[in-house]
């Protein structure tokens, strides 16, 4: 069965203190791995799609990487506006419609 | 503006009283999906639809129904709501088959007493 595990559950950072979030996955063939950002009371907002091991994507202070078993979301020199819950999801190769989400990592960046 | 809309945004109801949460997208997307989000459990897929008249179960379909009569609309129906269906519900859509990003609606917070 497909499974997605995110760690840590919560992360408190000082402004400028870089860190990484982990997303470990078990899936029978990966069609795609997604990262989303979710602010309180809002719907998830798309950040990145990764398709194959070794791939990297960047957006401002965020960088996502992918291996065969996990993905990392690196936050470089975070600012308070980076505070959010970050969600990871996987789509299996044999699935056109199903998406499996992890429970998320809640990130708080303090000034 | 390209968007997914949900109504109502907030709903408090009682056990057994049938309700419908509507979802509409204006991006001409073929694929639409419903999720529920509960603390510590993350987003769990309820139902999805690959196109008009094509729907399939996600991971937690019990107690829910859906229909896809038009491309833009994908309502979620709770025939006899129970307190364990109290949750935050999200509708999402995407444009093509394959691993493309989903666009999420703003959410519907449902409380069943």
The per-residue pLDDT for range A2-59, each reduced to its tens digit, is 889 999 999 999 999 999 999 999 988 898 999 999 999 899 999 999 999 999 999 9
What integer is the mean pLDDT of A53-76? 97
Instruction: Quote the distance between the C-alpha of residue B53 and its chain's center.
Output: 16
Query: What does the pLDDT read at residue B40?
Result: 83
Query: What does the pLDDT read at residue B97?
Result: 64
Contact A42 B106 (CB under 8 A): yes
Query: What does the pLDDT read at residue A53?
Result: 94
Which domains, from first to last, does chain A contain?
3-110 (2.60.40.10)
Q: Is B35:B89 a contact under the CB 8 Å cutoff? A: yes
- Asked if residue A99 has pLDDT above 90, the reply is no
Query: What does the pLDDT read at residue B93?
Result: 95
| pLDDT digits 0-9 by tens, A85-94 | 999 999 988 8
Contact A99 B98 (CB under 8 A): no
CA distance A48 to A56: 9
CA distance B73 to B49: 10
Q: Which residues of B touch A32 (CB under 8 A)?
A: 98-100
Q: Which two tokens stand for residue B77?
A: 């129906």
Q: Is A77 exposed, middle or buried (0-12, 13-18, 19+ CB in 10 A)?
A: exposed
- Exposure of B102 in the CB half-sphere (CA atoms within 13 A): 35
Query: What does the pLDDT read at residue B42?
Result: 87
B-contacting residues in A 75-104 (Cβ below 8 Å): 87, 89, 91, 96-104
**What is the distance between the terminal CA atoms of chain A, rounded to a whole angstrom?**
41
- Asked if residue A67 has pLDDT above 80, the reply is yes
Query: What does the pLDDT read at residue A18?
Result: 97
Query: What does the pLDDT read at residue B3?
Result: 93
- Interchain CB contact of A69 with B (< 8 Å): no
Please state, in angstroms and as integers, the Cα–Cα distance from residue A59 to each residue in A52, A64, A72, following that order. 18, 9, 14
**In chain B, which stretches have pLDDT less than 70?**
97-99
What integer is the mean pLDDT of A65-73? 96
Please state, in angstroms and as integers, the Cα–Cα distance from residue A108 to each residue in A105, B37, B51, following that order. 10, 20, 39
Query: What does the pLDDT read at residue A21?
Result: 98
Contact B107 A43 (CB under 8 A): yes
- Exposure of A23 in the CB half-sphere (CA atoms within 13 A): 27
The Cα diameter of chain B in Å comes to 39
Q: Which residues of B touch A102 (CB under 8 A)?
A: 42
Q: Is A25 exposed, middle or buried (0-12, 13-18, 19+ CB in 10 A)?
A: buried
């Amino acid at each position: 069965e497909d499974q997605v595990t995110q760690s840590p559950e919560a992360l408190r950072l000082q402004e400028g203190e870089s860190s990484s979030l982990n997303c470990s996955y078990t899936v029978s063939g990966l069609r795609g791995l997604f990262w989303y950002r979710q602010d309180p009371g809002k719907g998830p907002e798309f950040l990145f799609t990764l398709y194959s091991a070794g791939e990297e994507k960047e957006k401002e202070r965020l960088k996502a990487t992918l291996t065969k078993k996990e993905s990392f979301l690196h936050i470089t020199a975070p600012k308070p506006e980076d505070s959010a819950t970050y969600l990871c999801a996987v789509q299996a190769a044999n699935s056109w419609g199903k998406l499996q989400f992890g429970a998320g990592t809640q990130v708080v960046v303090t000034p | 503006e390209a968007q997914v809309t949900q109504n109502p945004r907030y709903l408090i109801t009682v056990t057994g009283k049938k309700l419908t949460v509507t979802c509409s997208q204006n991006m001409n997307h073929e694929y639409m999906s419903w999720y529920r989000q509960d603390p510590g459990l993350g987003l769990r897929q309820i139902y999805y639809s690959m196109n008009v008249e094509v729907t399939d179960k996600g991971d937690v379909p019990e107690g829910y129904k859906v229909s896809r009569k038009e491309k833009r609309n994908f309502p979620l129906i709770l025939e006899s709501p129970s307190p364990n269906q109290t949750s935050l519900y999200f509708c999402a859509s995407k444009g093509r088959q394959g691993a493309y990003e989903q666009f999420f609606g703003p959410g519907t917070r449902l409380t069943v007493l």
